[in-house]
Amino acid sequence: MTSEPAVRPNLLKSYTLVIVQFGALIALALTGPIVARHPVLLAMEIAALALAAWALLTVRIHNVNVTPDVRQGSQLVREGPFRWIRHPMYASILLGALAVVLNEAMPLRWLIYALLVVNLLVKLTYEERLLVAAFPLYADYQKTSKRLLPFIY
């Protein structure tokens, strides 16, 4: 099903959310190592990258949009990781960033991670409002999938 945006996105809000997201990720990278030394944390980072790759392959890279806005002519995707979670890219970001923080935990990194979590929760809530308006079937999809964690949230 293709979309025709029924709700006009707030571009200032959209770009602010993206800037905060990337700013937090850059800040994490600048405050310590980004490749975990502990095998469990490295496995978390690899799992995050695998989930991101799976999501990108499912939607095809040229259809990816970093802003939460629904592009005209876009399609609702319910395959691949989207069967279980509606925001696998956000989930992969949070999982990978958590591994980075745990690898070298310090108050500043926890603060940055908290900012990232809040930002992505605000972003996905806003995005879902736009998706409900753009796709009549999105409300049904919300009933059969979770936001970030399969079977949990």
Q: Write out the chain's pLDDT in tens, 153 residues.
A: 555 545 677 999 999 999 999 999 999 999 999 999 999 999 999 999 999 999 999 998 778 889 999 988 888 999 999 999 999 999 999 999 999 999 999 999 999 999 999 999 999 999 999 999 999 999 999 999 999 998 898
Q: DSSP letter string over the chain?
A: -B---SS---HHHHHHHHHHHHHHHHHHHHTS-SS-SSHHHHHHHHHHHHHHHHHHHHH-GGG--SSSPPPTT-B---SGGGGTBS-HHHHHHHHHHHHHHHHT--HHHHHHHHHHHHHHHHHHHHHHHHHHHH-TTHHHHHHHSBSSSTTT-
CATH number for the segment(s) 36-64+77-153: 1.20.120.1630
Query: Residue 72 has what pLDDT?
Result: 84
CA distance 41 to 74: 35
pTM for this prediction = 0.91
Query: Residue 63 has what pLDDT?
Result: 80
Query: Residue 1 has what pLDDT?
Result: 55
Query: Residue 11 has what pLDDT?
Result: 92
